Amino acid sequence: MSNTFQGKSKEDIQILISRLQADNNPVNTRRILGLLDFTSLNVTDTAATIEDICEKINNYQFVFPDLPCFAAICVYPRFVHVLKKRLAIPTVKIASVAGGFPSSQTTTSVKIAETREAIEAGADEIDMVMPPGEFIEGNKNYIRDEIASVKEIMGGKRLKIIIESGVLSDPELIYSASILAMESGADFIKTSTGKEKVSASPDAVYIMCHAIKNFYHASGKMIGIKPAGGIASTEDALSYYSLVETILGKEWLLPENFRIGASRLANILLSEVEGRNVDYF
């Protein structure tokens, strides 16, 4: 598959984005709540803090009865069993990072073992990093085999591959990494871990959406997209929503095909929708 962004610079992409008509309809703010992967990936996380999040999610429908609940909660593998035991909202998926998150600097066998453990503990979804160094070095067969090996043990569970777009930076690399992840078995492609200096950006999501569109036309497979990392304003969230709708279409605007990974964003969106300061999470 040819690289749509060959020879294009970040400035070229930003010009293309500026030509798109953004739809900042406030109704979309409510919809975004139902697309959130509420994330807790802190060095201070404990079973107690994850239980507290579960309790708030379980009570969410009573506190905010007219608002959609989140698509998933994303945690470290050692806390998946806590979510499985405590989470009482069946529509909220259990997501776990795995595979040596966030650096991906471990062996394929360890990545497989960690993924298997998370799945057996109750994870519905796995977020795993494509090793950026291996990709930049051109070791595509290594990456292809690794992703395929992880996907093979997951059954029907959803695999999200993080390309760490802020590290790749170059439009050609972001596009190529997106295609490689999808060809290798990713169900979603995700921008970032949120642990690097540069995380999600509109230009990266623009490129990734076009990669998904081209892959869909070539294969017929709808692959999801997940901007994540540093998204902390309603305006940011709406811009990503608008990009996905404009490039991929309304059929992508469902939790099966579109997520936004964030932690701080939940209270910000709730405050916007409720018209008051909300500090629930």
The question of whether 226 is a catalytic residue gets the answer yes
Residue with tokens 């975004």: 32
Strand positions, DSSP E, the chain: 36-39, 72-75, 93-98, 125-129, 158-162, 188-190, 224-226, 260-262
Annotated catalytic residue: which of 8, 190, 203, 236? Answer: 190
Residue 221: closest CA among 250, 254, 257: 257
> 3-class SS at 66?
coil
Residue with tokens 């990093």: 129
Annotated catalytic residue: which of 124, 160, 226, 236? Answer: 226
Annotated catalytic residue: which of 127, 187, 203, 236? Answer: 127
Looking at residue 245, its amino acid is E
DSSP state of 246: H
The question of whether 190 is a catalytic residue gets the answer yes
Q: Name residues whose C-beta falls within 8 Å of residue 19's C-beta, 6 or more positions apart in sequence.
A: none
**Catalytic machinery residues:** 127, 190, 226
